[in-house]
Amino acid sequence: MTKKQKKELRKIIISAVFFVAAIVLKNIEILTVLFSAAAFAVCGYKSVVRAIKNLVRLNPLDEHLLMTVASIGAFVIGEPVEGAAVMVFYQVGELFQSIAVSKSRKEIAALADIAPESACVLRDGEFVTVSPEEVKLGDTLLIKAGERVPVDCKVTEGNADIDTKAITGESVPVAVSAGESVFSGSVNLNGAIRAEAVAVYKNSTVAKILELTENVSSRKSSYESFIHRFALVYTPIVVGAAVLLAVVPSIVLGNWFEWIKRALTFLVISCPCALVISVPLAFFAGLGRASSNGILIKGSNYLEAMAKADTVVFDKTGTLTTGGFFVTEINPVTVSNEELLKVCASAENFSNHPVADAVKREYTGKLLEVTDVKELAGMGICAQSEQGEILAGNKRLMEEYKVSYDEVSDLGTVVYVACDGKFLGTVTVSDKVKENAKSAIEALKKQGIKKTVILTGDKHTAAEAVAKAVGADRVHYELLPQDKVEITEKIINDGAKVIFCGDGINDAPVMAMADISVSMGQIGQDAAIEASDIVITDDNLEKLSSAIRLAKKTVGAARVNIVFCIGVKVAVLILGALGITNIWAAVFADVGVCVIAVLNSVRILSKKLTKF
């Protein structure tokens, strides 16, 4: 508990002592009144002050006024113990709510701790400590064990294990060395590293996450908006009803004492705090649970929309696939796999083409010595070696040098390799499907997603191969950006609730059109933050289904709270108006309903309920 909560608990304990004394000494009227008044004063003076302030501000109709009138009214009609009970139990409920809210806020509030306090920067040959905002692009940073990374940077020297949990939700530390990137807000667990700043603080990951979470409460779900509108209408109605209940039957039937008591009971029951607290709390808990697992949701309205989605549209490259080039197939004809790759890599060694880089990464052995390397635009490479002239390129290169070759399917970029006039075979370079892409789509279907669609500018064969590999329902290929917009619009017009999942950079028009847009692993990109409604900070596709499951649990909790709270309130209000329940039952009903609703909301924070 916080210091403030502990202080409130002490007040409640003191009030409880006075309250118990009032009950024990009920036969001695003066002591009963004094101890009841003491219990009321210790526990309820803040509510009385707030009620008076709200009256002065002409905004009186809230729970503080309801409880104050009910408590003081009970004293006036000669029921001091009941008057004290109203305020004591109300404050118990308020404390419980405060603790529950603190718990749900903890997940998001903890993100404030990721902000680095300082940076160690090389200036004039010496390392000096400055604020992160003073770090410039290209500065050399020294990050010691236990320190937070101040800005996004690239390691230039040293090795370390980096804790990225606050950024990506990944609990396993990431080992980094020279050449690897590190997110700001991460923690260096061991070893000192030097790094080059690749972004200033305001453009770094940590600043973007903090800005995102600060604005998260401004976008309300329809359930939260309903509760706000409901409270504005409900509270004046029940106060008016309580006044009528006290006055009209008293005039008609007499017995003012009885009807005023019923009216006070009616007021206590009518307090809307259970709804006002528990429904927003459910969504806040959902947002907090998501953020602690590397899923940043810009508002509870997006959480609600995700729960309704039935179709997921994927961008292919960089979302379902890695977005890079890799050697995916080696087809030798007259030599071994290793020899074919060796000859190909030797020719590609002096090229900076992405295909050449993929081949060079694949072959790690000793290369042939080559000379007179020529890069022929649109065809490939020709080079001289001790084994003869090497050709590595497309079919046009083979035809240009009149080499007989065996054609293969183009599920990627095919490099045809020949040496000394003889065709050696082919090396296929293509993008790779992510390891968890298929399981991610299977998980989406388990969450009720009816259709998965892939949109890509790739050729038919490559697109179909990816769709088959991941188990997508449909794939549209050879698309221009405007084609993607038209297809997505048609899906939406057919009545689907669409989540678009992409890289947040090249598909902004589609993202703007979809009901929900999700960026994968692009927290470092400005465009991703601006274009998407939800950012999954690492590259884990399976978190999309986890986010949908969490959204459904959150919306479900909010619905249950609304039905339960309103149902119980209406039932007990009727019983109170008929005189069947007394003020004691009203207090317990109000606090009990609130506690149950809050517990239902806080359940969302349970790791067992919402697994990631």
Q: Within a domain: residue 384?
A: yes
Domain count across the chain = 2
Token couple for 413: 């970029």
Quick: pLDDT tens for 293-326.
Answer: 878 888 888 888 999 999 999 988 778 888 778 8
Single residue among 192, 214, 236 that ends a domain in this structure = 214
The percent of residues above 70 in pLDDT, for the chain, comes to 84
Quick: pLDDT tens for 503-539.
Answer: 755 676 788 788 898 887 655 555 556 667 888 877 7
pLDDT score for 172: 66
* pLDDT interval class at 224 (50, 70, 90): low
CATH number of the domain to which 372 belongs: 3.40.1110.10
Residue type, 419: C
* pLDDT interval class at 142 (50, 70, 90): very high
Q: Within a domain: residue 196?
A: yes
Average pLDDT, the chain: 82
CATH number of the domain to which 196 belongs: 2.70.150.10
CA torsion sign for 503, 506, 512, 515 is: negative
Domain that holds residue 405: 326-430
Q: Within a domain: residue 261?
A: no
Point out the catalytic residue in the list 315, 507, 533, 590. Answer: 315
pLDDT score for 313: 94
Backbone φ and ψ of 58, nearest 5°: 60, 35
Model confidence at 109: pLDDT above 70: no
Q: Within a domain: residue 153?
A: yes
Spatial distance between the Cα atoms of 32 and 23, rounded to a whole number of angstroms: 7
pLDDT score for 108: 54
Q: Within a domain: residue 579?
A: no
pLDDT score for 214: 56
Q: Within a domain: residue 244?
A: no
Would residue 410 show up in a list of annotated catalytic residues for this protein? no
Strand-pair partners of 95: none
Residue 551 and residue 310 in contact, taking contact as beta carbons nearer than 8 Å: no
Place of tokens 């809050």: 598
* CB neighbourhood size of 192 (10 A): 15
Spatial distance between the Cα atoms of 376 and 125, rounded to a whole number of angstroms: 47
Provide the phi-psi class of 146: left if phi over 0, else alpha when psi is between -120 and 50, else beta: left
Spatial distance between the Cα atoms of 338 and 324, rounded to a whole number of angstroms: 22
Model confidence at 51: pLDDT above 60: yes
For residues 410 and 514, the model is more confident at: 514
The percent of residues above 90 in pLDDT, for the chain, comes to 28
Place of tokens 């000793």: 366
| Residue 541 Cα distances to 145, 370, 444, 535, angstroms | 31, 43, 10, 11
Single residue among 378, 409, 430 that ends a domain in this structure = 430
Q: Within a domain: residue 169?
A: yes
Q: Within a domain: residue 130?
A: yes
Nearest in space to 363 (alpha carbons), one of 380, 375, 348: 348
Nearest in space to 539 (alpha carbons), one of 432, 451, 399: 432
Q: Evaluate if pTM is beyond 0.75.
A: no
Nearest in space to 516 (alpha carbons), one of 319, 303, 317, 315: 303
pLDDT score for 105: 55
* pLDDT interval class at 171 (50, 70, 90): low
* pLDDT interval class at 136 (50, 70, 90): very high
| Residue 302 Cα distances to 293, 296, 479, 484, 535, angstroms | 17, 11, 28, 22, 11
Question: How many alpha carbons fall within 13 Å on the CB side of residue 357?
Answer: 6
Single residue among 162, 187, 214 that ends a domain in this structure = 214
Residue type, 564: F
pLDDT score for 573: 75
Token couple for 500: 């678009």
